[in-house]
Amino acid sequence: MTPKKDTPLYQWIDSHAHLDFDRFDDDRGEVISRAKARGVSRVISIGTRIESTERAIALAERYPEFIYATAGFHPLYMTDDHEEGWRSLEELIVHPRVVGVGETGLDYYYDHTPHDQQRRSFRRHLQLANRFKKPIIIHIRDAFEDAFKIIDEEGIKAGGVVHCFTGGPEECLASLERGLYISLSGIVTFKSAKALRAAVPLVPNDRLLIETDAPFLAPTPHRGQRNEPAFVVDTAHCVAQLREETLENLSLLTLENTARLFSLPAIEVSL
């Protein structure tokens, strides 16, 4: 995928992808090349289990200028809730290539993991993020009330982001009140996501991130395909339109916001 001839090549950070997943095993190098060709300068590869986190770290070590990792147990994959698993997670969190804790949170849409177990896990992730002073990556689906309650009780000392935000204006404002960043995925390009699209202009310039959540949720015009970091540019086009701002401005502010939240080295921008 290459940019259109009339499209300036701005820089982007895909703040949330799962490059360690096996759906990229056959062409991961090509996926990275396509992302770079569209101006994606960094990707944060998100850990969902111990093994996933280890693979994300390995990718971050292999591509040190391009990929960073996070460490956590996804609420739907929360099978490592024994103490040995938590001890392993703590060891991974302090790895120098790990820039955040998670993906964690609450997902009440599916019944894969009991809700009480999810709540305990989310609380413990928050405690680890506070202890190690790293930002937390939060997944919330059909569970904003319980998620906000736990956040209010535990606090967030090093910042955090509601990734793949799917709420409306009310949930957006409630997240912002708690100091959280909002990350927008390809769902924002779906015209059926009316409440989400209405929330987009409410996000302040200094709290906005963009992501793919690859290999899931490919944006229009790629719906039905495997998602990949190159497609974050298509999401960016939609977000800029909904916010009535230029791609240049959106590029600059999302680069700055992502680097600030995750303490990434500065990016030299030449537009």
Pairing of strands 67-71, 12-17: unpaired
Q: What tokens were used for 90?
A: 């703590």
Sheet (strand 208-210) strand order:
12-17, 40-45, 67-71, 98-107, 136-141, 160-162, 181-184, 208-210
pLDDT for position 270: 57
Q: What tokens were used for 169?
A: 């204006």
Note down pLDDT in tens along the chain; length 271 residues. 444 444 557 999 999 999 999 999 999 999 999 999 999 999 999 999 999 999 999 999 999 999 999 999 999 987 656 788 999 999 999 999 999 999 999 999 988 889 999 999 999 999 999 999 999 999 999 999 999 999 999 999 999 999 999 999 999 999 999 999 999 999 999 999 999 999 999 999 999 999 999 999 999 999 999 999 999 999 999 999 999 999 999 999 999 999 999 999 877 765 5
State how far the Cα of 132 lies from the Cα of 207, in Å rounded to an integer: 22
Contact 139, 104 (CB under 8 A): yes
SS3 state of residue 242: helix
Q: What are phi and psi of 241, to 5 degrees?
A: -65, -45
pLDDT for position 9: 79
CA distances from 76 to 30, 83, 127 (A): 29, 18, 19
State how far the Cα of 22 lies from the Cα of 67, in Å rounded to an integer: 17
Residue 95 identity = H
Domains of the chain, each with CATH number or no CATH: 12-217 (3.20.20.140)
Partner residues linked to 182 by β-bridges: 162, 208
Q: What tokens were used for 17?
A: 């992808």
Instruction: Tell me how far apart the 2 most distant CA atoms of the chain are, in Å.
Output: 54
Contact 161, 261 (CB under 8 A): yes
State how far the Cα of 271 lies from the Cα of 264, in Å rounded to an integer: 20
Q: What tokens were used for 114?
A: 């009991």
Partner residues linked to 40 by β-bridges: 12
Residue 180 identity = L
The alpha helices in the chain, defined as continuous H runs, are 28-37, 50-62, 83-93, 115-132, 144-154, 169-177, 194-199, 232-243, 247-262
Torsion-angle region of 214 (φ positive above 0: left; ψ -120 to 50: alpha; else: beta): beta
State how far the Cα of 174 lies from the Cα of 171, in Å rounded to an integer: 5
